[in-house]
Structure 1
Amino acid sequence: MSADWRLLGGLCLLLVGVAVNGELYTALAEMEELLETESVLITNLEGYIRVQEDKLSLLKNKMDEYQREHADAASDITAYVSNPINAYLLTKRLTTDWRQVENLMEHDVGTDFLQNLTQYRNVLKFPSDEDLNGAAVALLRLQDTYQLDTSSVARGKLNGIQYSTEMSSDDCFELGRQSYVNNDYHHTVLWMNEAMSRMLEEPLNQTQTFTRADVLEYLAFSTYKEGNVESALVMTNELLQLLPNHERANGNKRFYEKEIAHQKEMKKMKGDDGTDEMPVSDLPVARSDTGELGVKERKSYEMLCRGELKPSPTYMRSLRCRYVTNNVPFLRLGPLKLEEAHKDPYIVIYHDAMYDSEMDLIKRMARPRFRRATVQNSVTGALETANYRISKSAWLKTEEDSVIAKVVQRTADMTGLDMESAEELQVVNYGIGGHYAPHFDFARREEKRAFEGLNLGNRIATVLFYMSDVEQGGATVFTTLRTALWPKRGTAAFWMNLHRDGEGDKRTQHAACPVLTGTKWVSNKWIHERGQEFRRPCALNEDSGDFAI
Structure 2
Amino acid sequence: MIIRNFLVITTLVSAVFSSNYYTSNYALRLLFEKEVNFTLKLGALVEEYPTLEQDLPRSKTFLENPLITRESFSPEVINNPLNQYLLMWKFSHEWVYMANDMLKVSTKSDYDDTFDIVALSGEIKSSQVSEDDLAKAELSVLRVQEFYYLDPVDVIQGRVQNYSARSALSEEQTKKIVMKAKEYGDKCRVHQWGRAMEHLGMEVPDDARGVIKKPPTEEYCESISCSAGRGDGHCVTKDHYIASYQEACNNNSFKLKRSKKRNPPCFLNAIHPTQLLQPIKTEWISVNPPVYQFHGVFTHQECDEFWATGAAQQSRSTLVQKKTDGLGTTDDSRVGTNSWMRNADSSVVKMFSDRVSYATGVQTDVEVEDWQVASYGIGGHYWFHHDYLPEDSDFMGHLGNRLATFMAYLSDVPLGGATAFPNLKLSFFPAKGSALFWFNTNLNQADLPQTLHGGCPVLLGAKHIGNKWIRYKGQFLTYPCGKTPKSLPTLPASLCTYS
Structure 2-normalised TM-score?
A: 0.73
Change in 2 beyond 3 A, CA 1:188/1:41: farther
Distance 2:54 2:142 in 1: 47
* Residues 303 and 432 in structure 2, CA contact (< 8 A), matched pair in contact too: no
> Structure 1 residue 143 and structure 2 residue 149: aligned?
no
Matched letter for residue 300 of structure 1: S
Question: Which of 469, 482, 487 is 2:425 aligned to?
Answer: 482
Equivalent residue number for residue 61 of structure 2: none
Q: CA deviation at 1:27?
A: 1.8
Distance 1:433 1:309 in 2: 21
Q: CA deviation at 1:157?
A: 2.1
Q: CA deviation at 1:312?
A: 6.3
| Partner secondary structure for residue 420 of structure 2 | strand
Distance 2:53 2:247 in 1: 60
Matched letter for residue 122 of structure 2: Q
Distance 1:345 1:116 in 2: 59
Q: CA deviation at 1:357?
A: 3.0
> Structure 1 residue 217 and structure 2 residue 206: aligned?
yes
Q: Kindly report which structure 2 residues correspond to 1:360-375, keeping only aligned pairs within 5 A, or say none.
A: 360-375=304-319
Q: Kindly report which structure 2 residues correspond to 1:277-296, keeping only aligned pairs within 5 A, or say none.
A: 287-288=226-227, 290-291=229-230, 295-296=239-240
Q: Deviations over 1:454-491 (max 9, x none)?
A: 42110001100001111011111111111111111011
* Residues 185 and 286 in structure 1, CA contact (< 8 A), matched pair in contact too: no
Distance 1:439 1:486 in 2: 18
Equivalent residue number for residue 262 of structure 1: none
List alignment gaps of at least 5 residues for structure 2.
Answer: 1-16, 56-106, 231-235
Question: Which of 29, 34, 47 is 1:37 aligned to?
Answer: 34
Change in 2 beyond 3 A, CA 1:430/1:293: farther
Q: CA deviation at 1:439?
A: 0.7
Q: Kindly report which structure 2 residues correspond to 1:254-273, keeping only aligned pairs within 5 A, or say none.
A: none
Matched letter for residue 170 of structure 2: S
Equivalent residue number for residue 348 of structure 2: 403
Change in 2 beyond 3 A, CA 1:293/1:173: closer
| Partner secondary structure for residue 190 of structure 2 | helix
Q: Indicate the structure (1 or 2) with the bigger Cα radius of gyration.
A: 1
> Structure 1 residue 418 and structure 2 residue 420: aligned?
no
Equivalent residue number for residue 546 of structure 1: 490
Matched letter for residue 510 of structure 1: H
Q: Kindly report which structure 2 residues correspond to 1:10-159, keeping only aligned pairs within 5 A, or say none.
A: 22-46=19-43, 54=51, 107=109, 109=111, 115-121=118-124, 125-159=127-161
Equivalent residue number for residue 286 of structure 2: 342
Distance 1:192 1:458 in 2: 49
| Partner secondary structure for residue 511 of structure 1 | strand
List alignment gaps of at least 5 residues for structure 1.
Answer: 1-19, 59-104, 201-211, 233-276
Q: How large is the RMSD of aligned CA atoms in angstroms?
A: 3.5
* Residues 33 and 125 in structure 1, CA contact (< 8 A), matched pair in contact too: no
> Structure 1 residue 385 and structure 2 residue 374: aligned?
no
Distance 2:343 2:375 in 1: 20
Distance 1:198 1:175 in 2: 15
Q: CA deviation at 1:323?
A: 2.6
Equivalent residue number for residue 92 of structure 1: none
Q: Kindly report which structure 2 residues correspond to 1:202-351, keeping only aligned pairs within 5 A, or say none.
A: 212=203, 215-220=204-209, 223=211, 231=214, 287-288=226-227, 290-291=229-230, 295-307=239-251, 310=254, 313=257, 320-325=264-269, 335-351=279-295
Q: CA deviation at 1:361?
A: 1.9
Q: Deviations over 1:170-206 (max 9, x none)?
A: 3312222333444544433433443444345xxxxxx
Matched letter for residue 131 of structure 1: D
* Residues 313 and 339 in structure 2, CA contact (< 8 A), matched pair in contact too: yes
Equivalent residue number for residue 169 of structure 1: 171
**Structure 1, 517-526 or 404-413: larger mean CA deviation:** 404-413
Matched letter for residue 485 of structure 1: F
Distance 2:325 2:53 in 1: 64
Change in 2 beyond 3 A, CA 1:107/1:142: same
Distance 2:353 2:289 in 1: 24
**Structure 1, 374-383 or 510-519: larger mean CA deviation:** 374-383
Equivalent residue number for residue 491 of structure 1: 434
Distance 2:313 2:27 in 1: 11
Q: CA deviation at 1:158?
A: 2.0
Matched letter for residue 24 of structure 2: A
Q: CA deviation at 1:350?
A: 1.6
Q: CA deviation at 1:377?
A: 1.7
Change in 2 beyond 3 A, CA 1:422/1:520: same
Equivalent residue number for residue 500 of structure 1: 443
* Residues 304 and 479 in structure 1, CA contact (< 8 A), matched pair in contact too: yes
Distance 2:257 2:474 in 1: 39
Q: Deviations over 1:148-176 (max 9, x none)?
A: 11101112222344454322323312222
Distance 1:396 1:430 in 2: 18
Change in 2 beyond 3 A, CA 1:402/1:21: closer
> Structure 1 residue 430 and structure 2 residue 432: aligned?
no
Change in 2 beyond 3 A, CA 1:114/1:456: same
Change in 2 beyond 3 A, CA 1:514/1:316: farther
Equivalent residue number for residue 474 of structure 2: 531
Over the matched positions of the two proteins, sequence identity in percent amounts to 24
Aligned residue pairs total 414
* Residues 430 and 519 in structure 1, CA contact (< 8 A), matched pair in contact too: yes
* Residues 321 and 337 in structure 1, CA contact (< 8 A), matched pair in contact too: no
Q: CA deviation at 1:42?
A: 2.2
Equivalent residue number for residue 440 of structure 1: 386
Matched letter for residue 534 of structure 1: L
Q: CA deviation at 1:120?
A: 0.3
* Residues 252 and 429 in structure 2, CA contact (< 8 A), matched pair in contact too: no
Equivalent residue number for residue 72 of structure 1: none
Distance 2:376 2:207 in 1: 32
Distance 1:455 1:406 in 2: 26
Q: Deviations over 1:89-145 (max 9, x none)?
A: xxxxxxxxxxxxxxxx974659666523442047x6442223212221111111111
Equivalent residue number for residue 65 of structure 2: none
Matched letter for residue 359 of structure 1: C
